[in-house]
Structure 1
Amino acid sequence: MSLWRKFLGKKAPSPAPVSEEGASLPLEEILQEWPLPAAVVDRQRGVPWSSRALKALSPSGELQHLLELPFSELVEIHRRLFEEGEVEEEVEYRERAFRVLGRRISSELAVLALVEVTRERTLEKELRFLASTLAHEFRTPLTALQGYVEALEEELPAEGYPREILSAIREHLHRLTRLVKELLELSRLSGRDLRCEALPVAALLQALRRAAEPLLQPKGLRLEIHPEKDLTVRGDPDYLVQALLKVLENAVRYSPEGGRIIIEVRSQGKKVRIAIRDEGPGVPEELRSRIFEPLVRGKNSPGLGLGLALARRLVCLQGGDLLLEPSGQGATFVFLLPVSSPEVQNFATGKG
């Protein structure tokens, strides 16, 4: 059951018109006593009615003051609410975190409700702190060990059992170094650092191709990109390229030498769909439901089990999603990224 069905039921109430005598609206009476911070907003981003809980949270009762978002993000939330009918975003207000749920109830009005998620976000911050602490504690001894290995390599003969042992040590040190790097990335993830921009998908894929070249060359892999023209998404360019690259790294890891990795792009409703497909063995059935959980990986997997979890978190922070799609051969990971509206694009580029 969705969160909206819990709060509004299967059908949202339709507001009754205000009579000439000034009789109160049934919806207004409901909102006044609603235990959640909630409000009705109109197409002009006004707030005609709000609950007492919202007024206690924000005495002004104004949406823009409550959300405290940059103008372009506020425009996008409002646009999605009235064009798509529903919206779900997370915001912070006075050191508290809220999930904002919106549903359109008529052509001119929509309802917004806030669900507090401060406790969940506090736990996430504690986990990020733990990951950061572990990464920093490991980094110094790992650097020292790598120095010792390099010193021993200069002294040992080019062949023989000691050299084989040293090569195995170097390989495990490399894996631990990658783990430390990804733990640091996990600890630094935060929605506060996001830049909301209108991004042409073609430019995003060009940046991805440049970053991917060093990964593709050792195995002789070909990257085929089939884009749809003139698509623009909303998000942070650095975070999006990083998320795409992590999924591409996963595809490279499991692809056979000389194989192909195919990226297909098309619009899908109010989202842009970017699918990355490889020709590897695919994801085992028993891992499919948990593939985006941290440290989940298959038997004998050369990966660390953090890359896909990081990629999905990066995408979800920007209002998108990352899914594993069933496929006949290999693995297909699908990014669903929010389309950037013309109004936000004009704001971002200084037009209009």
Structure 2
Amino acid sequence: MKKHLKTLIFCVLLGALAFAGSMLLEASKTQQETATYLSNWEEEIAKALLLQKDDQLLKKLLAHVGRANVRLVREASAQTCLGAFEVPLTLYGLPATSLEFCQPVWGLARQAAVSPVFMGLLILALGLFSVFSRVASGIERQRERLAQKLALHEELSRVSRQVAHDIRSPLSALTMLAQLSHGPDEDSDRARLLSAAVGRIQAIADDLHERGKTSLAGETALNQLPQMAADLARELALLMPGQSLNIPVLSDSVAARSLPLRPEVWQRLLQNLLKNAFESQVQAGRFDPLELSIQVQGASVRISLRDRGLGIDRSLLPRLGAEGVTAHKKNGTGLGLAFVQRTLASVGGALEIRNRDQGAEVTLICPCLRSRSQVLSQGTA
């Protein structure tokens, strides 16, 4: 209601300004026409007024001016007349007298209402109003969308903090159970798997708690990734026996690089890729080691993981990375790859997925951070 009221007020003001401008212009034209017309008869008018004391000639001439009814000020009511002006008269070439005229308000208003100037100004005002309305509506819609996004972000932050808080109690029990499972009579592989799983849950809980307040910003040394991937592969192999991973050896120049994002974030990224690759190979009945490669190209690093699994349907390739899109899981949600793609995009990176001769290859592209030691060594070279 308030929005429509503001629009109505704005429209009325525009119309009033246009009408006022038209009236001023019409008043100016009337003054010029009256002065020009009477100047052709000023000798006769002066004789009639001064010598014969007769104003009939003046009244007849005023009736033929053709614009708003011009009146002598002395004969017009002050409440109905405005825009007073004087017209000097001469007699025998000498100044004789001057007449003061004014214009009736209603006559001038009628003349202004039908003038081309008012029509043009009115059309212009309506056009400006239309443009302003569209712009204002667009700004209002954008403001509403922004408010909704901010509210959603705040709600998600609140939920993530609440989830992180709520799982701490059962997580403490799992942590104690993992510590007790390291006795001499317990299966060492199961104990390591339980400890690693509890550790990852703890990292996720901490990450959720921090993400509710801050971003994923941080730094991870590139030489941490091979060992991180190896540890994750060993844990997953306990659930999918026979699966393994070939770990690359990094050169000193590559290992010295650093990547954005905290180590626990990279752990989640790699875990998503390794789990998908192992599951694809299990479904295909393959036990070839996964191939992990890490290459630096310019200011970016490419982390590629290749499997010998089922490959990916070509129709799905462009859509992978969106929530709800998954390749081989009947009940999959696509949240894992969506998290990978969204996280990389937040630091200027990208996710590439393509089929190979057999299986698929997933590549994480991420910009490198220049370490202080690299900057110093390059500066002294």
TM-score (norm 2): 0.42
TM-score (norm 1): 0.45
Higher relative contact order structure (alpha carbons within 8 Å, sequence separation ≥ 6)? 1
Question: Which of 1 and 2 has greater Rg?
Answer: 2
Structure with greater proportional strand content = 1
Structure with greater proportional helix content = 2
